[in-house]
Amino acid sequence: MERDRDGEPGGEGVRPSRRALLGWGGAGLALGAAAGGSAAALYPHEAPAHTDEAVEFHGAHQAGIATAVPDRLHFAAFDVTTKDRAELVALLRDWTRAAAALTRGDPVGEGATGGLPESPPDDTGEALGLPPARLTLTLGLGPSLFAKDRFGLHDRRPEALVDLPRFPGDNLDRARSGGDLCVQACADDPQVAVHAVRNLSRIAFGRAAIRWSQLGFGKTSSTTPSTQTPRNLFGFKDGTANIDGSDEAALRRHVWVPEADGPDWMVGGSYLVARRIRMHIETWDRTSLREQEDVFGRDKREGAAVGRRHEHESPSLRAMLPTAHVRLAHPDTNDGARMLRRGYSFTDGTDGLGRLDAGLFFLAYQRDVRRAFIPVQRRLARHDALNEYIQHVGSAVFAVPPGVRDHRDWWGRELLT
Amino acid sequence: MERDRDGEPGGEGVRPSRRALLGWGGAGLALGAAAGGSAAALYPHEAPAHTDEAVEFHGAHQAGIATAVPDRLHFAAFDVTTKDRAELVALLRDWTRAAAALTRGDPVGEGATGGLPESPPDDTGEALGLPPARLTLTLGLGPSLFAKDRFGLHDRRPEALVDLPRFPGDNLDRARSGGDLCVQACADDPQVAVHAVRNLSRIAFGRAAIRWSQLGFGKTSSTTPSTQTPRNLFGFKDGTANIDGSDEAALRRHVWVPEADGPDWMVGGSYLVARRIRMHIETWDRTSLREQEDVFGRDKREGAAVGRRHEHESPSLRAMLPTAHVRLAHPDTNDGARMLRRGYSFTDGTDGLGRLDAGLFFLAYQRDVRRAFIPVQRRLARHDALNEYIQHVGSAVFAVPPGVRDHRDWWGRELLT
């Protein structure tokens, strides 16, 4: 059944949980699987019945990169507030233990009602009774963590973890940029994602504090190409040619850090670029259909490239305007550079001028930002016709270490020991 | 099957759509229904397979009040910018036509790719290919719409549409309060809800503009008591005794405006109070389990009232502290006053102090705010132990006219003709 593969790219295990806690029987599992299959057939964009599944936390790579993209995001960047390396280590160990529980659908520590009545509960409780919802928690380490005179990590900073250059048109808000650490929480249920980040933030008390965070409500890219490509807030499909999370060769070539690149502690990891891209919805909405299609280089209904009839036909870049987004972002224009994108739409209410504060929270994983995001974005920032309708307002880059191997391992162990 | 009733309180029709547009066959429907049944049995809180259903827009009452509460919200309050009554009428007629299409799962006007290529598309397109997701759109009229020298409506303002008094502890942000009009969009998919508000806002261009808006991600009350009571961001079930959307007697007594109350144009309508309630998550999270349970007057795990074992056992109010939230909000403490609540949790990132800007967006429908929200909130604002952990930061009240009867009728017709 196709859904099963979608749920498990990279061969990661999937198992139900939290249900067991509440006494639901195993008999429901087969029903749940059947339910998912039929719903996915009707609306391939949606995969609602996935909510009873858990994504395996342990593995060679962190979950939340090649794994299927569920439809909700809570992303948080943290400042480390302690100056003590031992406390940083303790935080990462505590976070790892909590993340393993949360992604199983379990509460952290002794739960929301365990422990002593005289103490605050270990878990905040708002996810009690909710299924695991395919929650993944992915940790990243920002360049500032490696600064001199902080934690003695200066010499271990990967060469590929560069500070991003300023691109033409950038209008970055410092309060929405950077961060010593990040946690990407993806889930089918926002309450599950928010609960996870909140409880990690709580565990961090006195050691790290949230610097900025972003909720995303609709994924704009998929790692499961058999499902329908989602649409962004301009109403277009974008990211048709995203890396398939089950394409091991493409992952090895474009996403995972190989031994040849190093450093050792990053092998099997990846680099994450996060950009908050404001979309000027009101301006776009007054633009003609023809102009919109020229800007992207696709038709709006099917998502087919200019001159093609179907979305997945490979595009003729020369048939597009030189400023077309698809043409400029295509690997053929960028020496074969590809990224695994996991972006989300966001809407954060309205700004002071009554305009929708909405856009794309771009998240892209890659083996080396110097050969992927940076050259591609240099080209886009200079030439992309879309620039008239968007603005990059937040930016961060993180080294994403390899996966947590087993119950004794923890996030960042190879870096910090 | 229980799910069927949950999807259709008040006997409202449900039918698939948008699927037809994309050529999906009717055969999938039965599968979809089966899927919903099993998923609902596993996780009664969630009803993912509802997403292929449409809620009937036309009827004696507006949908989005007694109908089932899907898990996502986009609420928008508008300022009417035109001074011309005829333009206000035209706006409400245009909105009604669009709302009927959107709730069916159809695009507005000629769609995202219809019309002339030289013109901006009628629909913004980001919901193209998405199912109706039980979208409801509910219109409200604020007190300011009835002001003297605006639209000649001063004499038609309902007596019950009072300006809310200032309550102790209120810390209201004007930029998040009031509004001439409001639209409540509820759906299973936030992209569908956001798409609807965005397109209504676009249709309003030059006649009305968004004053403030609020996204909600997890419902905190249910109108379908057979499903699991959702939890708020304090990790507690609240609203166990909410009005059942299929309990016609309770709706008549507490929610719908009867002829005896008047005015005529409001008969079959209701009054909506919206309050943005910030929850001081960090303070709460440092509070002991015992204190948390005392504050609510319930146990955290089951949601049972003090001294009871199960959530739905009727509480012994005298067993609770006089300051317990459940005791103070209970109808027995308030001369039988009840409201139909449809609140949502929200998380709008972090504030300048690194604290989660999160809480409850309280939405309550009632026959008369003077006999429901106002006296209940006066009591809560003075005595509720919860006040140490919350603050009301936004407020609005709206008259919600009766339903749009048929394709010739429109929102507010009886008021404006």
CA distance B119 to A361: 29
Mean pLDDT of the A33-44 span:
32
Give the least confident one: A17-31, A100-114, B286-300: A17-31
CA distance A417 to A151: 12
**Could you give the C-alpha distances from B60 to A319, A358, B6, B134, B273, in angstroms and in order?**
54, 35, 19, 18, 21
Q: Is A3 on the interface with B (CB under 8 A)?
A: no
CB contact under 8 Å between A130 and B212, yes or no, is no
Answer for the pair B196, B94: CB distance below 8 angstroms, yes or no. Answer: no
pLDDT band at B216 (very low <50, low <70, confident <90, very high): very high
pLDDT band at A37 (very low <50, low <70, confident <90, very high): very low
Give the number of other Cβ atoms within 10 Å of residue A410's Cβ. Answer: 22
- Provide the residue type at A314 as one letter: S
Answer for the pair A411, A95: CB distance below 8 angstroms, yes or no. Answer: yes
Task: Name the residue facing B300 among A38, A113, A286 (closest C-beta).
Answer: A113
pLDDT at B33 over 60: no
Give the least confident one: A64-68, B4-8, B108-112: B4-8
Tally the C-alpha atoms within 13 A of residue B310's C-alpha that lie toward its C-beta.
4
CB contact under 8 Å between B289 and A119, yes or no, is yes
pLDDT of residue B353: 72
What secondary structure does DSSP assign to A35-52, as a single string? HHHHHHHH-TT--GGGGG
Task: Name the residue facing B45 among A35, A38, A129 (closest C-beta).
Answer: A129
pLDDT per position as a tens digit, B172-186: 999 999 999 999 999
Task: Name the residue facing B19 among A35, A42, A74 (closest C-beta).
Answer: A42
pLDDT per position as a tens digit, B347-390: 988 776 778 889 999 999 999 999 999 999 999 999 999 999 99
B235: three-class secondary structure by DSSP: coil
pLDDT at B3 over 70: no
Contacts of B46 in chain A (CB under 8 A): 48, 51, 130-131, 189
Mean pLDDT of the A321-329 span:
95
Average model confidence (pLDDT) for chain A? 87
pLDDT per position as a tens digit, B83-95: 999 999 999 999 9
What secondary structure does DSSP assign to A121-136, as a single string? -SS--TTTT---TT-E
Kindly report the three-state secondary structure assignment for every residue of B330-386: CHHHCCCCCCEECCEEEEEEECCCCCEEEEEEEEEEECCHHHCHHHHHHHHHHHCHH
Task: Provide the shortest C-alpha distance from residue B117 to chain A (in Å).
Answer: 5
- Record the pTM: 0.88
Contacts of A285 in chain B (CB under 8 A): 120, 124, 202
Residues whose CB falls within 8 Å of the CB of residue B64, separated by 6 or more in sequence, listed in order: B55, B136, B137, B138, B184, B186, B342
pLDDT of residue B228: 76
CA distance B104 to B91: 20
| Boundaries of every domain in chain A | 2-277+398-416
pLDDT at B220 over 60: yes
Mean pLDDT of the A21-27 span:
30
Q: Which of B176, B240, B347, B393 to mutate to test the interface with A (most CBs of A within 10 A)?
A: B347
CA distance B222 to B242: 7
pLDDT of residue A50: 65
Q: Is B45 on the interface with A (CB under 8 A)?
A: yes
Q: Is A126 on the interface with B (CB under 8 A)?
A: yes
Looking at chain A, the whole-number percentage of residues with pLDDT higher than 90 is 78
Contacts of A48 in chain B (CB under 8 A): 39, 46, 48-49, 51
CA distance A75 to A55: 18
Supply the DSSP symbol for A157. Answer: -
Structure-model confidence comparison of residues A239 and B53, the more confident one: B53
Q: Is B236 on the interface with A (CB under 8 A)?
A: yes
pLDDT of residue B50: 65
Residue B225 tokens, joined: 């008591």
- Residue with token string 């502890």: B169
Of B270, B69, B273, give the one whose Cα is nearest residue B185.
B69
pLDDT band at A215 (very low <50, low <70, confident <90, very high): very high
pLDDT per position as a tens digit, A75-100: 999 999 999 999 999 999 999 999 99
- Provide the residue type at A185 as one letter: A
B253: three-class secondary structure by DSSP: helix
pLDDT at A21 over 90: no
Mean pLDDT of the B248-261 span:
97
- Burial group, residue A238, by CB count within 10 angstroms (0-12, 13-18, 19+): buried
CA distance A237 to A292: 12
Tally the C-alpha atoms within 13 A of residue A381's C-alpha that lie toward its C-beta.
17
Q: Which B residues 351-370 touch A at CB under 8 Å?
A: 354, 356, 358
Mean pLDDT of the A36-57 span:
55
pLDDT of residue A17: 38
Task: Provide the shortest C-alpha distance from residue B96 to chain A (in Å).
Answer: 20
Q: Is B75 on the interface with A (CB under 8 A)?
A: no
Contacts of A201 in chain B (CB under 8 A): 356
CA distance B417 to B408: 14
Mean pLDDT of the B301-318 span:
91
Mean pLDDT of the A209-231 span:
88
Answer for the pair B74, B185: CB distance below 8 angstroms, yes or no. Answer: yes
Answer for the pair B387, B381: CB distance below 8 angstroms, yes or no. Answer: yes
pLDDT at A385 over 70: yes
Answer for the pair B28, A38: CB distance below 8 angstroms, yes or no. Answer: yes
CA distance A251 to A247: 6
Task: Provide the shortest C-alpha distance from residue B270 to chain A (in Å).
Answer: 26
Q: Is A178 on the interface with B (CB under 8 A)?
A: no
What is the ipTM for the molecules in this complex? 0.86
Mean pLDDT of the B198-213 span:
95
pLDDT of residue B312: 87
CA distance B256 to B62: 10
pLDDT at A42 over 90: no
pLDDT at B249 over 90: yes
CA distance B309 to B299: 9
CA distance B326 to B297: 6
- Whether cis (ω within 30° of 0) applies to the bond prior to B263 is yes
